[in-house]
């Protein structure tokens, strides 16, 4: 089996287009966890997330085979854009009210990385509680607002990148973030939730 460690995602995509199926396996291995986390965060249902994930990769394969990918240096960006479009198509088919209710199996605790908090146990407990409160409030946001918050804070994307992925203007992305923060502050006030992190 060939070692693809030194290849970029973009190079692997082009290798796959050239007929190397092992390159696609490597692409899937590299991107599946991050992509699935993004999808699950938006749809809040593991069953739907699995369907969206699979449909996303079917579309990726089709687009690659049809020559609809060019090396722009942003394969993961392209991948996320396809997933976003599949999610939006899924919402349209469901004719939902664009508000996704949280489910019992929704486990967003996996998004928190323990190594990011090098602090004592007492502060870690406080921070964990704050993050749990934030996640609960995010669960109540309409899907477009929750998606922008996730992309900005969990994926570290710029508003320009968010706008490109979601197919809206930068002003719309900024507006969604603004309303998300307003809604979360309102929820924090209503429930008297303290959102200060201990350092």
pLDDT digits (tens, 9 = 90+) for 18-29: 888 889 889 989
User: Nearest 5°: phi and psi at 136?
Assistant: -65, -40
Cα separation of 165 and 21, whole Å? 27
Cα separation of 192 and 103, whole Å? 24
> What is the pTM assigned to this prediction?
0.58
What residues in the chain have per-residue pLDDT under 50? 96-102, 108-113, 115-120, 197-199
Cα separation of 118 and 115, whole Å? 6
Residue 116 pLDDT: 42
Give the residue carrying structure tokens 């190594």. 115
Cα separation of 99 and 91, whole Å? 10
Output the six-digit token pair for 141: 């946001």
Residue 31 pLDDT: 93
Q: What share of the chain is helix, strand, coil (3-state, %, to 5)?
A: 70, 0, 30
Residue 199 pLDDT: 42
Give the residue carrying structure tokens 């986390």. 37
Residue 182 pLDDT: 82
Cα separation of 67 and 53, whole Å? 21
Residue 37 pLDDT: 92
């Amino acid at each position: 089996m060939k070692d693809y460690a030194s290849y970029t995602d973009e190079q692997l995509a082009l290798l796959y287009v050239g007929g190397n199926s092992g390159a696609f396996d490597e692409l899937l291995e590299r991107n599946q966890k991050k992509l699935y986390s993004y999808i699950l965060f938006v749809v809040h249902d593991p069953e739907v997330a699995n369907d969206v994930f699979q449909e996303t990769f079917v579309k990726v394969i089709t687009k690659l085979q049809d020559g609809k990918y060019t090396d722009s240096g942003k394969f993961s960006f392209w991948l996320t854009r396809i997933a976003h479009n599949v999610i939006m198509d899924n919402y349209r088919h469901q004719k939902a009210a664009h508000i996704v209710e949280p489910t019992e199996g929704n486990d967003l605790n996996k998004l928190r990385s323990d190594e990011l908090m090098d602090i004592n146990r007492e502060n870690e407990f406080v921070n964990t509680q704050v993050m749990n409160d934030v996640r609960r409030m995010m669960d109540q946001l309409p899907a477009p607002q929750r998606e922008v918050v996730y992309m900005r804070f969990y994926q570290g994307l710029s508003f320009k990148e968010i706008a490109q992925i979601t197919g809206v203007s930068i002003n719309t992305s900024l507006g969604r973030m603004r309303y998300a923060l307003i809604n979360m502050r309102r929820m924090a006030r209503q429930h008297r939730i303290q959102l200060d992190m201990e350092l």
